[in-house]
Amino acid sequence: MKRRRERSKRVHVMHLWDWSELVKAVPYLRSVVGSLREHWLEMLNAERQIHRSVKNKAPFNRHQIIEKEFRREEHRRAQDKFDDALEELTGVDVFLTDPVRGLALIPFRKDDDVAWYIYDLFAKRGLIGWRYPNDPEEECRPLSTLKDASAPDVL
């Protein structure tokens, strides 16, 4: 099993993305968020299989014990892959909010405030809108309302 790097005690200054960087990064985000979703679903499937075998009250035989250990190892591998991909995403200051729906938030500057671009893995163009940190999670303002997004249809 891989050892995890210890987190630094230094302060991390969050990178605020500009529109041109984001346009170039959409294919990368699609790849990483897609991988995160796959690994998350693999973990859920392995957990479901483990719970299903636990519900079976019959005495364990050799085959069941081997299968249960295989499922645990499968879960650990998926967890490690998920953690690695999540570390990669947070390393570029993009934050996964829902692995199943493929949603992530990308920070940017809106006037003198911080705001979030909303990335959706299943949207044709990737970026579906933006919101302020205080907005409700379901809030999604149109990209056309941004001054710096002069060509939001480029995505």
30-57 confidence digits (pLDDT tens): 999 999 999 999 999 988 888 777 666 5
What pLDDT is recorded for position 56?
Answer: 65
What is the bridge-based pairing of β-strands 95-98 and 103-110? antiparallel
Q: Is the pLDDT of residue 18 over 80?
A: yes
Q: Give the max Cα distance, the chain.
A: 66
First-to-final CA distance of the chain: 39
Question: How does pLDDT run across 107-122, given as a tens digit for each residue?
Answer: 999 888 899 999 999 9
CA distance 140 to 73: 39
CB 106 within 8 A of CB 17: yes
Q: What confidence category does residue 155 fall into, taking pLDDT thresholds of 50, 70 and 90?
A: very low
pTM above 0.75, yes or no: yes
